[in-house]
């Protein structure tokens, strides 16, 4: 995380100010901070602000004293047990380190110290850009008891926090409209904005209650705990704002509004459009290493716990009690009265396990379910327990709830409906127990319109209903495709017609319906649910269906066999012998094994299969068995021998290629930037062993530095097959300004007129009449005001939902607005998602352009924005350089020439380019041309002119790095391997020998010991550290780092580096920072590579210090 300043503002009630981030003048340092940090003590009981604040016996009295110190790594702020503080703690640009985080905690014995904000601690939140739904508030004042703004490595524990309304006149009438004046409030708030990644925030054992926020403001910092990412002022300088290594553990959140806990909405929400979320995208723009565990959330006004825009978050052992407590009858009286309990939004591979949710409010709540897969990819809910939730057990919400899984969960007497299939793609729902008794009218499918229209595979579940009010509704619901197989049904008058393996009998539970209905705030142990185990004579035993990648264990931790029992309990009754083999790793076809991408050993390959005893596996190469570490290759055979019956499968390595850089269709590759070389193009693909990639221009293969152009073909060859993909290079799109343009449409909804497609607001939209319209009415025409050349239309769908998204289209043009001519477009269909889309056609001169829908989502058409323009080549042909790196972007302002050495004259600079006839080159500094012996500097522009066209390239000069000689320098380290002449000693980084290295202990070390300090022997100006990794292996490579400097070798100060990440490779790397006078420079490896699980290493072949000029 990049830090520019360190500041902290804290106040009591008299000091409340809207400008809480103004710099505190003339800081008073209680004592000089050393490497171990300073501890500050505050007590409302016996503190005095005249004290030093650095011991229990000299504690300060009020929180505002913290505004007079600069917190540094290793510092602690301790509040005395039993103290009550009317104020707040706000921290901005404050950073600890991985080895020495800043801590806020209690001291002494007794009750937790209390921070009562009471509406103080007011700050201004602004996302700057449009939200994903225009109804959400994006800016306004917020009151927070604790605020961490662009902070990292901060841990907060053992506090009681409130932020309640004390003036009854401010109490909010929840049926006001969404512009209601009640301020958003939080107990603990966090913001990532101008510091890049906000690392290592830990909240533990906090009691947060009576936070009276605004029930409607979903994405403001509003509720018990909420962390969000705002748009940086300059993302290119500070990095993408996001969170990493966030943990909330053992906290009690009670009587808060809006949500109990939420992390974390992001200004980058548009990067997450579409059902399929790539790891690379979510890991880059979203939040990572997120953990919520052992928290108790009671009576939140709306949702209990929501995690958003995150990669593989873990949510486990949390309890939700009465979520949605502020919702009631009159649900239509205010905006978005929806509350599920624990759920993800736009997450990839989230896991929710061992949680409990009960008594979620159903009346006045559009949802009310315990669990919800909501617009996320790969969500798993497993080993959870729900009961008496007003909306039911489980919701799969709408079209982007992709690859959702619900397995080994218990639902006891949930209300409304067991499962809500709300227009979702296929979900996997298996080995659950749905239990209903008493007089509950719980339905199988949700009764409301559209809420049983999704699809799912329902296997190995127990549906148990002895209620006298069982409605026995239809299993299929109102739409979608629901496949039932190997389920047990008890108490229902019918079973799904497609479940040929249905068991219709009493499952013989041990003692059902007796799972806990009260809570201590902790998740009960598995033994509390023993009533849902099945007896050894149960008809559910060995009647289930094998499901690949099913998690391998049941609700109680028992291993699941090849023939699973139905329900959540796998008994000890032995599986019957089962024919064949099964795999969670490979795909088993009729006669072949596929899904093998890389060569594996025979032993590792066979370990990827499951089978009954008595079945043996052999891998054959031309009839001869291979074994052990012999490699399996394409075309070999897996022989399955079952008591003399032999079945053979041909092993097929994947013959395809994948890429996260370009878009691959069935026979095309698009998204390629012009002037991409063949070498760089091919390096963006991954493929299996034995697969080769090549590029052809007609019948001639092209290689190396030749540029890829549209129409060339990528050939993917492997395993005897060849697949061709036509390459499409991105054109430069030039959009006309919308000033002076108008729009008309065949149908409109009031307040959603055609002009909304030109208002530069993605949150508003043109929409046809909500009552529906005919296809002939689903058109919109743009009048550009005058005739212009046009060959491109850009279509921006609505940012939420899919109603009216155009999937098939035609384009018509006209000069008079009356006589229209259809043009031929490169395509006539668009994907059904929320991403922006383009269509291209031969250039024409027209004033009017009509977009006519031929197919849409639903009986409507809609558009958030529409733009018109034309395309042109992104660069002038005929210029190249063997000395500099020329980067061409679809956006001309991002074109660049880099690797230019400082003090290069314009004359020498231009001499390093090769141009075709007719191409002219010149260098400009702003509007003034520079020539001859003038030095080229960063920010100047190279103008490339040809035939009247001009393309600009911004020049980037490489800074000159000056290294100090190593003579007289020494090194000390936190850990070193001993007994080796070539690995260990820190001084080996100063020996000019790449064959030796500093290496921490081979047995592993602690993270805080991954440091090396260079003593230059005297104070010198330093602004650069050169890190040369080891030349072989990757063990100990430093991939994330911190730099500290010192004049005495004892007191170190962290410096702000231009980056804090190095690539995981063996190339030379640099860390650069503002020049400072120092004698000692410490490199700390905050993250390092390891090839041995569970061990931490750090290493360096050589290290140099110096400066740049």
The token pair at 688 is 């299996």
Residue 861: closest CA among 744, 746, 741, 742: 746
Bridge partners of 901, per DSSP, are 958
Residue 349, number of CB atoms within 10 A of its CB: 18
Contact, 401 vs 367, CB < 8 A?
A: no
Chain Cα centroid distance, residue 100: 27
Q: Is the peptide bond before 258 cis (omega within 30 degrees of 0)?
A: yes
Contact, 1037 vs 1061, CB < 8 A?
A: no
Q: Is the peptide bond before 635 cis (omega within 30 degrees of 0)?
A: no
Contact, 804 vs 767, CB < 8 A?
A: yes
> Residue for token digits 């008794």?
437
Contact, 291 vs 246, CB < 8 A?
A: yes
Report the alpha-carbon distance of residue 521 to residue 523 in Å, rounded.
7
SS (H, E, C) 243-269: EEEEEEECCEEEEEECEEEEEEEECCH
> Residue for token digits 């190279």?
942
Q: Catalytic pick from 199, 217, 374, 1009?
A: 374
- Name the DSSP class of 817: S
Instruction: Identify whether 882 is a catalytic site residue.
Output: no
Q: Rounded to 5 degrees, what are φ and ψ at 894? A: -100, 0
Residue 322: closest CA among 253, 220, 373, 412: 253
Contact, 56 vs 63, CB < 8 A?
A: no
SS (H, E, C) 886-926: EECCCCHHHCEEEEEECCCEHHHHHHCCEECCCEEEEEEEC
CA 511 to each of CA 440, 534, 535: distance values in angstroms, whole numbers, following the listed order: 19, 9, 10
Contact, 1096 vs 1010, CB < 8 A?
A: yes
Report the alpha-carbon distance of residue 124 to residue 145 in Å, rounded.
14
The token pair at 989 is 């980084």
Burial of 341 (0-12, 13-18, 19+ CB in 10 A): buried
User: Can you say whether residue 471 is alpha, beta or left, with left for phi > 0 and alpha for psi between -120 and 50 degrees?
Assistant: alpha
Report the alpha-carbon distance of residue 911 to residue 727 in Å, rounded.
33
CA 907-913-918 angle, 5° bins:
100
The token pair at 131 is 């939200």
The token pair at 441 is 């009218």
Instruction: Identify whether 279 is a catalytic site residue.
Output: no
Strand 970-973 with 1053-1054, pairing: unpaired
Residue 596, number of CB atoms within 10 A of its CB: 22
Report the alpha-carbon distance of residue 578 to residue 615 in Å, rounded.
9
Report the alpha-carbon distance of residue 772 to residue 857 in Å, rounded.
11
Count of CA atoms in the C-beta half-sphere (13 A) of 121: 38
> What does 447-507 look like in DSSP terms, one character per residue?
-STTTB---EEEES-EEEE--TT-----SSTTSS-EEEES-EEES-S---TT-TT-B-S--
Residue 36: closest CA among 70, 75, 69: 75
Count of CA atoms in the C-beta half-sphere (13 A) of 177: 2
Q: Catalytic pick from 199, 367, 499, 654?
A: 367
Question: Coil, helix or strand for 858?
Answer: coil
Q: Is the peptide bond before 136 cis (omega within 30 degrees of 0)?
A: no
Residues involved in catalysis: 367, 374
């Amino acid at each position: 995380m990049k830090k520019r300043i360190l500041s902290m503002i804290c106040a009591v009630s008299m000091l409340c100010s809207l400008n809480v981030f103004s710099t505190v003048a003339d800081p008073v340092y209680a004592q000089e901070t050393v490497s171990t940090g300073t501890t500050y003590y505050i007590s409302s009981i016996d503190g005095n602000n005249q004290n030093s604040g650095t011991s229990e016996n000299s504690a300060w009295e009020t929180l505002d004293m913290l505004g007079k110190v600069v917190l540094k790594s290793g510092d602690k702020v301790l509040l005395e047990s039993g103290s009550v503080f009317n104020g707040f703690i706000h921290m901005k640009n404050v950073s600890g380190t991985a080895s020495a985080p800043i801590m806020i905690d209690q001291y002494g014995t007794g009750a937790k110290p209390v921070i009562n904000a009471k509406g103080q601690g007011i700050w201004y939140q602004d996302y700057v850009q449009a939200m994903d739904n225009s109804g959400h508030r994006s800016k306004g004042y917020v009151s927070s008891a604790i605020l961490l703004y662009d902070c990292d490595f901060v841990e907060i524990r053992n506090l009681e926090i409130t932020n309640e309304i004390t003036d009854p006149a401010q109490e909010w009438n929840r049926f006001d409209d969404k512009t209601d004046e009640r301020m958003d409030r939080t107990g603990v708030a966090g913001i990532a904005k101008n510091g890049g990644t906000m690392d290592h925030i830990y909240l533990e054992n906090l009691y947060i209650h009576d936070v009276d926020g605004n029930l409607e403001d979903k994405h403001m910092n509003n509720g018990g705990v909420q962390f969000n990412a705002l748009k940086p002022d300059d993302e290119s300088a500070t990095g993408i704002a996001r969170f990493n290594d966030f943990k909330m553990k053992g906290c009690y959140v009670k009587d808060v509004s809006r949500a109990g806990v939420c992390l974390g909405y992001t200004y980058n929400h548009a990067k997450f459009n579409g059902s399929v979320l790539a790891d690379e995208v979510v890991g880059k723009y979203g939040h990572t290493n997120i953990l919520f565990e052992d928290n108790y959330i009671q009576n939140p006004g709306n949702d209990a716990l929501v995690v958003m825009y995150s990669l593989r978050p873990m949510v486990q052992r949390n309890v939700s009690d009465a979520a949605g407590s502020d919702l009631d009858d009159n649900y239509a009286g205010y905006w978005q009265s929806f509350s599920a309990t624990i759920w993800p939004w736009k997450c990839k591979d989230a896991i929710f396990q061992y949680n409990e949710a009960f008594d979620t409010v159903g009346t006045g709540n559009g949802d009310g379910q315990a669990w919800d897969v909501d617009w996320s990819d790969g969500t798993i809910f497993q080993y959870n327990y729900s009961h008496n939730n007003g909306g039911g057990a489980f919701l799969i919400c709408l079209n982007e709830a992709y690859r959702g899984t619900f397995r080994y969960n218990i639902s006891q007497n949930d209300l409304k409906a067991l499962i809500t299939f709300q227009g979702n793609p296929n979900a996997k729902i298996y080995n659950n127990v749905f239990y209903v008794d008493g007089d509950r009218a719980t339905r199988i499918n949700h009764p409301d319109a559209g809420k049983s229209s999704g699809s799912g595979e329902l296997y190995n579940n127990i549906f148990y209903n002895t209620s006298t009010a069982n409605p026995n509704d239809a299993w299929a619901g109102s739409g979608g495709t629901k496949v039932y197989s190997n389920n047990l049904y008890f108490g229902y008058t019918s079973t799904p017609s497609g479940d040929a393996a249905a068991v219709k009998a009493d499952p013989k539970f041990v003692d059902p319906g007796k799972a806990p209905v009260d809570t201590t705030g902790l998740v009960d142990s598995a033994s509390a649910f023993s009533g849902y185990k099945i007896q050894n004579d149960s008809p559910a035993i060995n009647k289930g269906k094998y499901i690949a990648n099913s998690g391998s264990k049941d609700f109680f931790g028992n291993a699941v066999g090849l023939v699973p029992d139905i329900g959540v309990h796998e008994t000890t009754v032995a599986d019957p012998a089962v024919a064949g083999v099964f795999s969670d790793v490979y795909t088993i076809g009729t006669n072949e094994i596929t899904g093998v991408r890389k060569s594996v050993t025979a032993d590792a390959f066979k370990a990827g299969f499951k089978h009954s005893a008595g079945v043996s596996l052999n891998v054959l190469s031309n009839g001869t068995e291979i074994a052990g570490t012999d490699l399996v290759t394409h075309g070999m055979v897996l022989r399955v021998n079952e008591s003399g019956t032999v079945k053979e499968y041909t092993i097929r390595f994947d013959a395809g290629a994948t890429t996260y850089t370009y878009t691959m269709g069935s026979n095309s590759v698009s998204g390629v930037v012009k002037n991409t070389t063949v070498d760089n193009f091919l390096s963006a693909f991954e493929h299996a062993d034995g697969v080769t990639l090549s590029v052809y221009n007609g019948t001639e293969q092209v290689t190396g530095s030749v540029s890829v152009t549209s129409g060339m073909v990528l050939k993917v060859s492997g395993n005897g097959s060849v697949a061709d993909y036509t390459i499409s290079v991105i054109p430069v799109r030039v959009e006309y300004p919308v000033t002076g343009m108008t729009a008309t449409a065949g149908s409109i909804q009031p307040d959603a007129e055609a002009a909304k497609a030109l208002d530069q607001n993605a949150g508003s939209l043109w929409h046809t009449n909500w009552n529906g319209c005919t296809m002939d009415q689903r058109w919109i025409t743009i009048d550009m005001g005058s005739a212009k050349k046009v060959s491109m239309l850009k279509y921006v769908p609505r940012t939420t939902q899919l109603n009216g998204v155009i999937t098939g289209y035609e384009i018509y043009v006209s000069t008079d607005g009356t006589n229209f001519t259809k043009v031929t477009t490169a395509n006539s269909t668009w994907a059904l998602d929320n991403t922006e889309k383009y269509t291209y056609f031969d250039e024409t001169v027209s004033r009017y352009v009509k977009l006519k829908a031929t197919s849409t989502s639903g009986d409507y058409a809609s558009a958030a924005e529409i733009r018109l323009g034309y395309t042109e080549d992104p660069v002038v042909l005929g210029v190249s350089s063997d000395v500099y790196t020329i980067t061409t972007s679809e956006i001309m302002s991002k074109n660049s020439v880099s690797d230019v050495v400082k003090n290069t004259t314009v004359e020498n600079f231009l001499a390093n380019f090769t141009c075709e006839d007719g191409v002219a080159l010149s260098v400009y500094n702003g509007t003034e041309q520079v020539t001859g012996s003038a030095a080229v500097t960063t920010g100047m522009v190279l103008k490339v002119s040809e035939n009247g066209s001009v393309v600009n390239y911004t020049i980037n000069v490489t800074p000159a790095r000056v290294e100090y000689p190593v003579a007289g320098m020494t090194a000390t380290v936190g850990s070193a391997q001993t007994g080796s002449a070539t690995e260990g000693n820190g001084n080996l980084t100063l020996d000019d020998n790449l064959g030796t290295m500093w290496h921490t202990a081979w047995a592993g070390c602690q993270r805080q010991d991954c440091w090396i300090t260079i003593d230059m022997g005297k104070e010198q100006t330093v602004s650069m550290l050169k890190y040369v990794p080891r030349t072989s292996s990757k063990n100990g490579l430093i991939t994330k780092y911190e730099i500290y400097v010192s004049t005495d070798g004892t007191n170190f100060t962290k410096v702000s580096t231009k980056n804090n990440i190095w690539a995981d490779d063996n190339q030379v790397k640099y860390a650069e920072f503002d020049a400072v006078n120092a004698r000692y420079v410490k490199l700390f490896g905050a993250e390092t590579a390891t090839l041995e699980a569970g061990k931490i290493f750090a290493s360096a072949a050589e290290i140099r210090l110096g400066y740049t000029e």
